[in-house]
Structure 1
Amino acid sequence: MEYTDLETCEKDWADLGIEFKALETLNKEYIAKLEEVGELQAKCLKELNHQRYRLSVIKRSLKRVRNADQEKVDTLEKDFMRRKAQLYEMEQSLPKQNGTYLKIILGNVNVSILNKNDKFKYKDEYEKFKLILSVIGFVLAVINLVVNVRALELAFMFLLVWYYCTLTIRESILKVNGSRIKGWWRLHHFISTVLAGVLLIWPNTKAWYEFRTQFMWFNVYISLVQYLQFRYQQGVLYRLKALGERHNMDITIEGFHSWMWRGLSFLLPFLYMGYLYQLYNAYALYHLCYHPEATWQVPVLSILFLALFLGNTVTTSMVIPQKLREKVKLNVRFTRQDKGSRNSSNMGSRQSSVPTAISSKGNAPSPTSESASSKERNEPSCEASDGGLVMPEKNLGRRTTAVSAQSDQPSSEVDSDENKGFISAPEKNPVGDGNKKLL
């Protein structure tokens, strides 16, 4: 809204000056808080390093102790694992230094994301970025199957180079912010970058045209598999995030729950077919090495495709049994926890009810008041009987249902592997994030 006279403008300017002074004060307070946060971050990092150093000293000392009580040693080792997981959780809220690759690309710029919601948003954008590029790659591959235009071929190859270069940078930022993507999947994207670069400079010869159609169909298939992976992974990550069981920067998932296998069992055959397609590409390129117009790009590409096949197959095959073992361990652990909680709850209910049943006047409390007090404690009510305490059948059935429901729920992971408690530690995608690729 504009003013029509000078006096109104001067009055509004004066009011704006008062607001500016308040803003200036707020900004100074903000800067002071930033400096205070920086000092607290430095102190926390120092204390974290001190804790880790002291833990390592104690752990080394335990190995040298002779004739020690093995039970106490086992208890200390469990406490060490728990403390490491706690220190890891604290570390997620503190800035980290960039890795060597990020230092080369970006310099010593701080890329740490300290807010959990911002971390999840960045991870979500990362997944959407891969999906969008997969769709674009699918369209270009189909067009190249229909028409034979060199400019479109080069555009597609350049897209692959840019995609994988960008992916390596984004994944490095994710790793700085706590993601535990397996080393192979990161290496996979570096190899794919080199492979796409070699394809880009492959001369327009007859050898290329003999491989061209096969390569375009391969990219069509991989784009479809990547879409299936995106749908599966997004569903897992959002569900685990809703359950509060996984870190926002998870890319892969180690430690499956039963409901994860329904989608994974559908996805795995498509993944292995993609790996076999990579082996077929390596085989076809190997035979093209004897082509009269074959250049040095042909054997190099054959070796790169073979490396991708071996790395993907071995890594995926090793991860799945590991997840199965973790799933069994989690089931056993929660079965024990259910038994322990049931016994402790029964003991607690008896201890709390016996004193109440025997009042100072020798009168038993009314069933109504006893039931009300039990509801406040969220425990099943108990009634006084001639020989002791008897749990009503109605409440017993309710208790049994509650226990069974608890045991059916997916368990949160405590082990410090890669799951996230944020995992504590397990990783991102049941089979690895690196499977999502155009190549």
Structure 2
Amino acid sequence: LTKMPGGLTDIMEEWKSLEEDYQQIQETHRLYLQKLEEISKLQNNCSSSISNQRKRLKEISQQLKKCNKGLTQEETITIDEIKEKIKTRPNAFFDMEAFLPKKNGLYLSLVLGNVNVTLLSKQSKFAYKDEYEKFKLYLTVLLLLFSFICYFFVSYRFLDAILNFLLVWYYCTLTIRESILITNGSRIKGWWVFHHYISAFLSGVMLTWPDGNLYKIFRNQFLAYSLYQSFVQCLQCYYQSGCLYRLRALGERHNMDLTVEGFQSWMWKGLTFLLPFLFFGHFWQLFNSLSLFRMAQLPDCKEGQVMLCGLCFLILFLGNFFTTVAVVRQKMKSRNQKPKSL
């Protein structure tokens, strides 16, 4: 037998090693697909079991309401214990479902289709949440700088359009990301989600407002408002993230809780200094709304954007103001009740 050249011998040995690795990869991939199928079956079993549990809990709750009469003291205590346990189940199911695939809501279905957006590990959930917070902070700083430049240094409609386009993109992206975070267990809800939709619509209307006399009248007022809003949002992102980190470490907040543009009950300790800034911003929205409604009464007002922007600012004021007041009232009421219960 003729001896192969040294270089070819090395190549053959390397190829043999590659073949062995390839066989191992195939086996690993086969196991991976098998585990995926097992996980899929477990997910379906968990989802159906939770649905069944909810149905049975509803039935037993209705039955417990009927059997209130003729009970011994011991039976009453047992029923009260069952009722307390039933109250804790929805939160337990919510935490379980955060790791199970679920159907997208209407908004996500329209934007993304039927794509599964559930992140199945805690690490990936936290990574996505942290990326959301960074995105929000970086874009807020960028909008702050852009508003500052447009207000103090340049007065071109083209740059104003870029700013408004950035605002539309920012708020639309926030709504999509927040919907994904809610699917993955974040408890942000209510007005603080809805007001991003209104803000996106408002920015879109501002983007389409033609460059005329009325636009020039309102321009500086809007830019000053945007500058102030971005400044307050930077303050909120900075202080709320620190507060949330402390509360999570103490086990008082859920790990998927987010910073918001408004005020929530958990912000009471240490963040009440933000309230004057927030209320000033709310009344600025009302001032913008009234200014636009007055402009809509002018004889030379032919742009529909004036009335639309006025309505958007009015909705933002009403939602932000009454939601913040409701949170403050609720917190004050709970604080007043504590000494009485002691």
TM-score (norm 1): 0.70
Could you tell me how far 1:75 is from its partner in structure 2? 2.3
Q: Distance in 1 between matches of 2:70 and 2:181?
A: 43
Q: Distance in 1 between matches of 2:47 and 2:336?
A: 36
In structure 2, relative to structure 1, the CA distance for the partners of 1:20 and 1:244 (3 Å cut) is farther
Structure number with greater CO (CA < 8 Å, separation at least 6) is: 1
- 1:300 and 2:315 correspond: no
- Tell me which moved more, 269-278 or 183-192: 183-192
Q: Distance in 2 between matches of 1:68 and 1:215?
A: 67
Aligned to 1:58: 60
Q: Deviations over 1:293-312 (max 9, x none)?
A: 32211111111101100000
In structure 2, relative to structure 1, the CA distance for the partners of 1:254 and 1:223 (3 Å cut) is closer
Q: Deviations over 1:113-169 (max 9, x none)?
A: 121121111111111111111111111111111211121011111111111111111
Answer yes or no: is the 8 Å Cα contact 2:286–2:314 preserved in 1.
Answer: yes
In structure 2, relative to structure 1, the CA distance for the partners of 1:199 and 1:216 (3 Å cut) is same
Moved >6 Å (runs of 4+): 327-333
Could you tell me how far 1:281 is from its partner in structure 2? 0.5
* Residue pairs, 1:133-212, within 5 angstroms: 133-145=139-151, 146-212=153-219
Q: Which structure features the higher share of helix residues? A: 2
Q: Distance in 2 between matches of 1:214 and 1:208?
A: 10
Aligned to 2:255: 248
In structure 2, relative to structure 1, the CA distance for the partners of 1:309 and 1:231 (3 Å cut) is same
Structure 1 residue identity aligned to 2:7: D
Could you tell me how far 1:223 is from its partner in structure 2? 0.6
Could you tell me how far 1:182 is from its partner in structure 2? 2.2
Which structure 2 residue ranges, 5 or more long, are not aligned? 1-5
Aligned to 1:108: 114
SS at match of 1:5: helix
Aligned to 1:20: 22
Q: Distance in 2 between matches of 1:210 and 1:143?
A: 18
Aligned to 2:330: 322
Aligned to 2:98: 92
Q: Distance in 1 between matches of 2:265 and 2:165?
A: 37
* Residue pairs, 1:210-359, within 5 angstroms: 210-251=217-258, 256=266, 261-294=268-301, 295-324=303-332
User: What is the Cα-based RMSD across aligned positions, in Å?
Assistant: 2.2
In structure 2, relative to structure 1, the CA distance for the partners of 1:203 and 1:281 (3 Å cut) is same
Q: Distance in 2 between matches of 1:36 and 1:126?
A: 32
Could you tell me how far 1:266 is from its partner in structure 2? 1.2
Q: Aligned residues, how many?
A: 328
Answer yes or no: is the 8 Å Cα contact 2:264–2:324 preserved in 1.
Answer: no
Answer yes or no: is the 8 Å Cα contact 1:157–1:196 preserved in 2.
Answer: yes
Aligned residues with identical type, % of pairs: 45
In structure 2, relative to structure 1, the CA distance for the partners of 1:326 and 1:174 (3 Å cut) is farther
Answer yes or no: is the 8 Å Cα contact 1:195–1:304 preserved in 2.
Answer: yes
In structure 2, relative to structure 1, the CA distance for the partners of 1:163 and 1:58 (3 Å cut) is same
Answer yes or no: is the 8 Å Cα contact 2:95–2:185 preserved in 1.
Answer: no
Q: Distance in 2 between matches of 1:330 and 1:89?
A: 29
Aligned to 1:128: 134
In structure 2, relative to structure 1, the CA distance for the partners of 1:326 and 1:21 (3 Å cut) is farther
Q: Deviations over 1:319-359 (max 9, x none)?
A: 233345567889999x8xxxxxxxxxxxxxxxxxxxxxxxx
Q: Distance in 2 between matches of 1:51 and 1:254?
A: 32
TM-score (norm 2): 0.89
Please identify the structure whose Cα radius of gyration is greater.
Answer: 1
Q: Distance in 1 between matches of 2:264 and 2:101?
A: 25
Structure 1 residue identity aligned to 2:155: N
Q: Deviations over 1:374-396 (max 9, x none)?
A: xxxxxxxxxxxxxxxxxxxxxxx
